[in-house]
Structure 1
């Protein structure tokens, strides 16, 4: 593979694809550990590989339809992450003691869904400002 002449846009899309691969592994392990007790837990588990594959395809071969699909998927990632933030924050609240600092340490990771959204935002930056 020839990396000479790659634009920053292409590197960012590749980075986003790899980031979603890694995030997908982490979120799958975390949600599996919780036995997928809420249907919404499947969203990042199913979406992450789709984001990864689409990003890798776009990084390797620029195509307008892939560009459009990738942008749409990054918007989905942002919305999913915001929804996940709500569920995680709510999950901390329903623990014994509510929003006690200890529950933020042992409860659902409140920042993880925001990372999911942030990587989607980086993907959109690559698409729109690249």
Structure 2
């Protein structure tokens, strides 16, 4: 397997897949710490390794079927991150004191779900741009 023959979009999709491995570790630890009190917390925990596996397979196998599956996963990841942002932002407001700065610092991280979406959008850019 010669890396010099890989297109940029293929390398970016591989990077996105591997990035979801690390995101999965973080989101699993964070949601486990909160005892998965909302069923929606399972979405990124299940979706992140799925995106990881499919994105890595799509780059290694280099077939249209796998790239189509990766495309679908990237759209799901982008949507899941936006939904997570809603829950995290709402979670900050439900804390004592509402949307005070200290609640943004100590409450659910509102940027993490946006990162989940942003990495998927990077994958979408690679798929559509390639």
Same fold (TM over 0.5): yes
- Supply the distance in 2 between the matched residues of 1:76 and 1:56 (Cα, whole angstroms): 16
- Supply the distance in 1 between the matched residues of 2:103 and 2:30 (Cα, whole angstroms): 16
How many matched pairs? 130
Aligned to 2:82: 82
- Supply the distance in 1 between the matched residues of 2:28 and 2:97 (Cα, whole angstroms): 27
Aligned to 2:33: 33
Q: What is the CA distance between 1:80 and its match in structure 2? A: 0.4
- Supply the distance in 1 between the matched residues of 2:58 and 2:70 (Cα, whole angstroms): 8
Out of 60-69 and 20-29, give the one that drifted further: 60-69
- Supply the distance in 2 between the matched residues of 1:49 and 1:78 (Cα, whole angstroms): 15
- Supply the distance in 1 between the matched residues of 2:60 and 2:114 (Cα, whole angstroms): 28
Unpaired runs of 5+ in structure 1?
Answer: none
Q: What is the CA distance between 1:22 and its match in structure 2? A: 0.4
Unpaired runs of 5+ in structure 2?
Answer: none
Q: TM-score, normalised by structure 1?
A: 0.98
Q: What is the CA distance between 1:2 and its match in structure 2? A: 2.3
* Structure 2 counterparts to residues 18-57 of structure 1, below 5 A: 18-57=18-57
Q: TM-score, normalised by structure 2?
A: 0.98
Deviations, residues 53-77 of structure 1 (Å, cap 9, x unaligned)? 0011011111111111111111101
Runs of 4+ aligned structure 1 residues displaced above 2 Å come to none
Pairwise CA RMSD: 0.7
